[in-house]
A and B are shown apart, each in its own frame.
Chain A
């Protein structure tokens, strides 16, 4: 006979502890965040396509 598993009453439903990457991101300085985000942008194959798709969406 298997015992039915129940969640403990105090266990969070949506644990923010799973949001590890976000906490690391917040630990950076704004200057570091901007530099990393811009480095990520440099890896886009077609920045114009990304920009235009967001700004001028097809109806």
Chain B
């Protein structure tokens, strides 16, 4: 009997490291260093994942079924065979979608309450 797929909502909110890794894998499989680089690029250098943080997140995400190891190599000629590549699973992509929707909703609330930088609240927060 096939195992029941968990409800994406039950895995929210995502840990920041999990969110970053899933976002990095949203457009295709990558190996560990490529994931780390992509996260750095996406966050404009604000988030640098060390080997411990990255592989700790990968271990938990493999267990949750959010990502899986893949045998495919984008270009075997250019790459080291020993590297392990990971890709987001269907569940992983659904969870990513649900999490970004949740964050978007939060941002909308922040906008409505004018608590973002550049608004009156933001200026008061800066002055405080």
Do the two chains belong together in a single complex?
no
B residues apposed to A, CB below 8 Å: none
Report A's interface with B, CB cutoff 8 A. none
